[in-house]
Chain A
């Protein structure tokens, strides 16, 4: 049982790390501000989500587990709000140069 959970941790954390890599590469490669924002808010939040999911079997239930999920939800909420605000600002710059 513990082996299965450990494998789950390794797979999920690796996938999360991969999405951090994808987000960074997108931030560096994408052509303009709005497309870069896509790479950031998406790959990045998914990266943190997968890392949190992978850590859940290793964390102490219930306090640490709920705290981990809360951190992810805060980051998600922040990412959603900031992403929209930045997209609006970037759109204005693009349409009214």
Chain B
């Protein structure tokens, strides 16, 4: 088994693992739990892309992973902000009680 084969197998394993975590989206119970499952899927997707990119020497895939890494954070921050503002609360939370 060569290194690229191993990296491809690892990519499949990571992707399958985090896909299993998507069960949390069905189960919930809170929206935050669902969001966490998508965040885990995002990180797992980045890892799988990196493994694929290095294994196949397709360097553009690394750029895709970089973009994904930047965008994944925005999704979660947007979620927290909208969830908090619907309760009339500021997520930035100052020192005032």
Interface 1/0s, chain A 60-91, versus B by CB < 8 A? Answer: 10001001101100110111011001101110
Secondary structure of the B contact surface, majority rule: helix
Binding site for B on A (CB under 8 A): 6, 9-10, 13-14, 16-17, 20-21, 23-24, 27-28, 33, 36-37, 40, 44-45, 47-48, 51-52, 55, 58-60, 64, 67-68, 70-71, 74-75, 77-79, 81-82, 85-86, 88-90, 92-93
Contact between chains at A48 and B18 (CB < 8 Å): no
Contact between chains at A78 and B91 (CB < 8 Å): no
A-B contact pairs, 26 of them (CB 8 A): A9-B3, A16-B14, A16-B47, A20-B47, A21-B17, A24-B17, A37-B36, A48-B47, A51-B10, A51-B14, A51-B50, A58-B7, A64-B59, A64-B62, A68-B50, A71-B65, A77-B73, A78-B73, A82-B73, A82-B76, A85-B77, A85-B80, A86-B80, A89-B83, A90-B32, A92-B87
